Amino acid sequence: MSFEFSARLEERAFDVSLELAPGETVAILGPNGAGKSTLLSLIAGLLRPDAGRAVLDGKVLFDVGSGSSDWRPPHRRGTALLAQEALLFPHLSVVDNVAFGPRSAGNSRKSSRDAALHWLGEVGAVELAERRPAELSGGQAQRVAVARALAADPELLLLDEPMAALDVHAAPMLRSLFKRVLAGRRALIITHGVVDALTLADRVVVLEEGRIAEVGPTRQVLEQPRSHFAAGLAGLNLHTGVVVSDGLRGADGLHVAGHLDPEAVPGQAGVAVFPPSAVSIFLEAPHGSPRNVFPAVIHHLEPHGDQIRVRAGGFMADVTPAAVADLALEPGLRAFFVVKSASVAVYPA
């Protein structure tokens, strides 16, 4: 059983095909206007494609063009949509909002309410049950919206930048909530955040101008971006391992000092992230100040904007051409890659 999707929409120059395995979460990245929301609207049935076909677990969502015209309305698709804004129905209490899906499916008032309370419990919002949406903060409203979407028991969950409208305090909490509820669940999540893609998604699809520019496992796309957009977005140093109290112990045994994301707990799998621009290169090991010093052999130099990107081992550093000349950096040279621990963020992976 799987999800297969292929659709063309001339008006928006949109032409995308993709597949999802059961239980797979895929992040959709791309610049504004790339067709990310169009993709979700087509899947949810809020837009009709000019041509294409989508099948969800053997259920044809649409099959348009080439003589056939089969189109299943949104309420019979099993594809709950969660948008940037919570869009809780303002005239219903929180618990009635969450019970909306079960009620629409024909369940009794009692069992719908029970289901609603269960899902409110899952998102840690039971105490909000009797409130009105107008009385909730942005983060609370979005948690309730997550419960409402899950209570509808969707076969495919569609998330359109669900954390973009939240303030910096609410986002990490919601991210850990998503990490929990998306585990083993089939979902598509539009995001602008590398961290979201890294922590939530198994695979990344990069959309550019209505086409898929790149697709692959999250780490691979972020470490070695081939598309223009992913390169601008990512091109980050990523180091996987186990979270420790002051950073991360790499799978290769390397210790990376950094500051822990609030959701990262020592002992769990994690990833240390730092931008190449935060890395400097020395020919001799420097001393003092809490810094990471990674000895490595340079194997590649390439222009990157007005900087030079130096690759060595698993690391990338962006340095000025003047520094490259001063240090006489060249492939084969052994050097020390230095990054302040304050520039390293450790996330749960």
Which residues bind to other proteins, rule: CB under 8 A?
44-46, 73-81, 83, 85, 87, 89-92, 100-101, 104-105, 133-134, 138, 148-149, 152, 154, 158, 165
Q: Which is nearer to other proteins, 133 or 210 (CB)?
A: 133
Q: How far is the CB of 77 from other proteins (least distance, A)?
A: 7
Nearer to other proteins among residue 134 and residue 322 (C-beta): 134
Distance CA 24, CA 2 (A): 10
Residues 166 and 83: their CA atoms lie apart, in Å, by 12
Pairing of strands 157-160, 187-190: parallel
Cβ proximity to other proteins: between 88 and 234 the closer is 88
For the bound state, the minimum distance from the C-beta of residue 62 to other proteins, rounded and expressed in Å, comes to 15
Q: Minimum CB separation from other proteins for residue 44, in Å? A: 5
Look at the alpha carbons of 25, 31, 34, 35 in this order and tell me if their dihedral is positive or negative: positive
Q: Angle between the 138-151 and 109-122 helix axes, to the nearest 10 degrees?
A: 130
Q: Which is nearer to other proteins, 156 or 310 (CB)?
A: 156
Cα separations in angstroms, 143 against 37, 129, 197: 21, 12, 19
**Quick check: helix, strand or coil at residue 305?**
coil
Distance of closest approach, residue 300 Cβ to other proteins, in angstroms: 45
Tokens of 108: 């009794």
Residue number, 134 or 328, with CB nearest to other proteins: 134
CB of 24 vs other proteins, minimal distance in Å = 20
- Name 116's Cβ contacts closer than 8 Å, sequence gap at least 6: 95, 96, 97, 98, 99, 102, 129, 147, 151
- Rounded to the nearest whole angstrom, what is the least distance from the CB of residue 90 to other proteins in the complex? 4
Nearer to other proteins, 18 or 98 (CB): 98
Minimal CA–CA distance to 224: which of 337, 300, 123, 141?
300
Task: Give the residue with the Cβ less far from other proteins, 106 or 305.
Answer: 106
Residue for token pair 């052994």: 334
Whole-number minimum distance, CB 108 to other proteins, in Å?
Answer: 15
Beta bridge partners of 349: none
DSSP β-ladder status, 3-9 and 51-56: antiparallel
Residues in the chain: 349
